[in-house]
Structure 1
Amino acid sequence: MPTPPAPRLSEQARAKVNLALHVTGRRADGYHELDTIAAFPPLGDTLHADPADDLSLTIKGPFARDLTADGDNLVLRAALALREAFAVQAGAALVLEKRLPVASGIGGGSADAAAALRILCQLWNIKATDPRLHEIAARLGADVPMCLASAPLRAQGIGDRLTPLAVFPQAGFLLVNPRIEVATPDVFRALASRENPAIGTMPQTFPDARQLATFLRTTRNDLEPPATALATPIRDVLAALNGLPDVLLARMSGSGATCFAIFEDAPMASRAATTLQQARPDWWVAATTLS
């Protein structure tokens, strides 16, 4: 009897949301020093992998048309870097279901690259604990090591010093994007100051969503003011989120344009999503949980 084909592997590329993002300096090489708290809600793209002789990538999903499956795609760059580092002779047929908006401040491309590293380690029998994996992730981009972990963390330096955090409390979480792209370099160039205070000491745990929001109000996203100056629709999103019933905190993630809101529970976030979808059908709106 012929050998049955190996089962398809699948890996979720969770969105990376910056609950706080402080820009604390700029290095001589141009990289910015950051202090950020990242959450990875159970929402994102999905990457599939089948054994193959060559490497290939197919992109599907609501935001597929915003990406190209060429050599600049981070998924293929991650696959090629991993294959070269470990002298892998095999290939992979990769299929990316693109559900997150592109260039939206929630780590979509970085999350996809990290998912490629994780799924190809399974397919090619590479140990996920091999230190070369993190070296590859860091070369691909500052956010990729965070997305490789894909768990609550605090990242400092240029995103290379990662500290795992306790699981965030159960909370309703809402993500909203006005369907515009914001260029991260432009946002950094518009920063009024690159020397800002770090986040400081964090509590070990947060008993509930309300106490998490209370702590986060002592933090900032230093990229929010320049981003909203460059892309005024972000202001509309933040105003809409702050006007929702039961919202505990609303803020922009990363360099924008996606914003988030925290609620005490998932039903509150779902009701808020329905309200926004009815009022602004032109926006991308997604309700989920924080963890």
Structure 2
Amino acid sequence: MTTTKGAICEPAPAKVNLTLHVTGRRADGYHLLDSLVMFTALGDVVTVAPADHLTLTIDGPFSADLIAGDNNLVERAARSFGVINGAAITLTKNLPIASGIGGGSADAAATLRALSRLWGMPIPDAATILKLGADVPVCMTSELSRMRGIGDRIDTLGPAPKHNILLVNPNVAVSTAQVFGGLANRLNAPMADDMPDPFETGHWTKWLACQRNDLETPARVAVPAIDDVLGSLRAQNGCALARMSGSGATCFAFFENANTRNAAAAALRRSHPSWWIAETEEAPI
């Protein structure tokens, strides 16, 4: 996070759902979740600068997939302050759209943090943030977090342990509504409460492997390419855990060390040149 000539740059780290248990559904249709979330050093970037009017410019490798406008989460986040202040906002879009790693929600959270500093105003209250989207509250921090309820119950657990992470998306956007609609069961067990210390990496990874992403099965039905991603990751030397994040289609894998992760990335780029593949690690706090 840096400030240069009045501009403020705020990272919007990719959100990885290490687990995602669907534990129920309310009468209003909102699903209840129990999810362990970490953030990566890779992500989008939101830059804000003083201006007479509120504007949004989008650049970066995935900018063509987004348009500025009233429905853009960044602009909605800016308006959520309830004031008519100006700012020139630039969203640098490094993450694929609709990919299950919280790009839009992280962008909204970064916008709130950046504009709070630029305008010298407090960040909007929790209820206002939740109205922007169920994942926005958890994206307000880069700590390892447990997210429950409809995204309104957040327990921060401190820094995430160091991991050599590979993110892979088959370059297919997934409809969150379609994935939730394909759930066979909406009343599943929450995460086990016996989570080891995350810094006991081996024990923690084994514990994670016993948890679930309940959206993975319907997502794999909607996008069969997810099967290929997961199978390819698990076949790589040094892969300790591979799972889909969020509602897909991005999958993540933990590797024993940076060398095996980087070798896996190179192999997958050769075998699947159309896939989005990114090496990363845990986000700094």
In the superposition, the TM-score normalised over structure 1's length comes to 0.93
Q: Deviations over 1:94-151 (max 9, x none)?
A: 11110000000000000000000000000000135xxx33222101000000111232
Partners of 1:170 and 1:208 within 8 A in 2:
no
Match of 2:42 in 1: 43
Runs (5+) with no aligned partner, structure 2: none
Segment drifting more, 148-157 vs 24-33 = 148-157
Q: 3-state SS of the aligned residue for 2:80?
A: helix
Match of 2:60 in 1: 61
Offset, 1:203: 2.8
Match of 1:256 in 2: 248
Match of 1:150 in 2: 142
Runs (5+) with no aligned partner, structure 1: none
Offset, 1:236: 0.6
Segment drifting more, 105-114 vs 159-168 = 159-168
Which one of the candidate residues 231, 241, 254 is aligned to 2:233? 241
Runs (4+) of structure 1 moved beyond 6 Å?
none
Match of 1:104 in 2: 99
Q: Give the Cα separation in 1 of the matches to 2:158 and 2:48.
A: 31
Q: Give the Cα separation in 2 of the matches to 1:206 and 1:17.
A: 15
Question: What letter corresponds to residue 107 of structure 2 in structure 1?
Answer: D
Offset, 1:231: 0.6
Q: Does 1:222 align with 2:214?
A: yes
Offset, 1:278: 1.6
Offset, 1:269: 1.7
Which one of the candidate residues 252, 256, 273 is aligned to 1:281? 273
Q: What is the 5 A alignment of 1:132-151?
A: 132-151=124-143
Match of 1:113 in 2: 108
Count residues with an aligned counterpart.
280
Q: Does 1:179 align with 2:171?
A: yes
Partners of 1:266 and 1:288 within 8 A in 2:
no
Match of 2:77 in 1: 78
Q: Does 1:201 align with 2:186?
A: no
Q: Give the Cα separation in 1 of the matches to 2:192 and 2:239.
A: 25
Identity, % of aligned positions: 48
Partners of 1:247 and 1:261 within 8 A in 2:
yes
Partners of 1:168 and 1:206 within 8 A in 2:
yes
Q: 3-state SS of the aligned residue for 1:274?
A: helix
Q: Give the Cα separation in 1 of the matches to 2:133 and 2:70.
A: 15
Question: What letter corresponds to residue 54 of structure 1 in structure 2?
Answer: H
CA RMSD of aligned residues (A): 1.4
Partners of 2:6 and 2:50 within 8 A in 1:
no
Q: 3-state SS of the aligned residue for 1:175?
A: strand
Question: What letter corresponds to residue 85 of structure 2 in structure 1?
Answer: A
Q: 3-state SS of the aligned residue for 1:215?
A: helix
Q: Deviations over 1:247-291 (max 9, x none)?
A: 001000000000000112333222211111121110000011134
In the superposition, the TM-score normalised over structure 2's length comes to 0.95
Q: Does 1:127 align with 2:119?
A: no
Q: Give the Cα separation in 2 of the matches to 1:120 and 1:168.
A: 26
Offset, 1:208: 4.2
Match of 1:189 in 2: 181
